Amino acid sequence: MLLACLTNLLPLELKAQFVPKDIPTIEAYINDHKKQRSLLFARATLEESNKLLHQASQVTHRDYRDINLELDKYTKAFDVIDLVYSTVSTGFNVYRTYDNVSDKIGKYKTMLSAYNDKIVRRGKFETADTLLLAVNIRAVKNLTKECQSLYSSVVVLAGYASGKVHCTTASMMLMVEKVNKSLDRIKAIVNSAYYQTWKFIQARTSYWKSELYRSKTIREVANDAIERWLEAGHLGY
């Protein structure tokens, strides 16, 4: 309801930014929404049945063992529904991650092409340009780590699904959650690296002033500090 109100209040141009333009994406959103509503409805039905079972047991004073067995069935049903719900969300998260990373890679190519034309081909290198290497080397290292973690989780899930590895519903949900977190971290790493690269290339190719942005090596910084210290000593500060 809140989302609907906010959507109605937004200008038409701003609404268009939030609505996917391609039909497959819209259909995927609708399909995911329907599946999640169905799962939540099933869970709500089970919760209501569980509540009624508790009330009936208090009135009829049924045997504890019988009640416990029925409650155990409901508990397992809850776990299965939660697992299916998490799996559906994870599947959609895979699609969003792929879409996000693909979009950023396309923009990366455009940025680096502009940087190559305006800086590299003209030989206008400066020490500050090493920032690009530092940012993206760090991003690649972090992505390597997350992809290895994601691969390990997927291998374990494949073992669970094939029946080669024994698992409980809880352990399966734990693996699904790990996959979700890895996907979220991959998106965050790519977005952060892209934003830092974009800021630097925008400054470097548009309004770069060497006098303001010139980087110095550690040796240069140390020499400048020593020179200022010696000058201050001669001036009697």
Residue 134 forms part of a structural domain: yes
**Tokens standing for residue 18:** 């939030």
Query: Hunting for tokens 């397992």 — which residue is that?
Result: 76
Containing structural domain, residue 170: 29-235
Residue 191 forms part of a structural domain: yes
Residues 109, 199 contacting (CB under 8 angstroms) = no
- What's the chain's average pLDDT? 68
Residue 211's pLDDT is 52
Least confident of 27-41, 82-96, 118-132: 27-41
Query: Is it the case that residue 82 has pLDDT exceeding 60?
Result: no
Residue 10 forms part of a structural domain: no
Residue 14 forms part of a structural domain: no
3-state secondary structure the chain: CHHHHHHHHCCHHHHHHHCCCCHHHHHHHHHHHHHHHHHHHHHHHHHHHHHHHHHHHHHHCCCHHHHHHHHHHHHHHHHHHHHHHHHHHHHHHHHHHHHHHHHHHHHHHHHHHHHHHHHHCCCCCCHHHHHHHHHHHHHHHHHHHHHHHHHHHHHHHHHHHHCCCCCCHHHHHHHHHHHHHHHHHHHHHHHHHHHHHHHHHHHHHHCCCHHHHCCCCHHHHHHHHHHHHHHHHHHCC
Report in angstroms the alpha-carbon separations of 229 from 67, 88, 192, 236.
Answer: 83, 64, 39, 11
**% the chain with pLDDT above 90:** 4
Which one is predicted more confidently, 151 or 68? 151
Q: Tell me whether residue 63 is exposed, middle or buried, using C-beta atoms within 10 angstroms of its C-beta: 0 to 12, 13 to 18, 19 or more.
A: exposed
Residue 24 forms part of a structural domain: no
Residue 141's pLDDT is 92
- What's the domain count of the chain? 1
Residue 14's pLDDT is 39
Residue 166 forms part of a structural domain: yes
Residue 140 forms part of a structural domain: yes
Least confident of 78-87, 88-97, 114-123, 161-170: 78-87
d(CA 99, CA 34): 21
Helices 23-60 and 64-115, packing angle to 10 deg = 160
Q: Which of 35, 41, 46 is nearest to 78 (CA)?
A: 46
Residue 21 forms part of a structural domain: no
d(CA 158, CA 145): 20
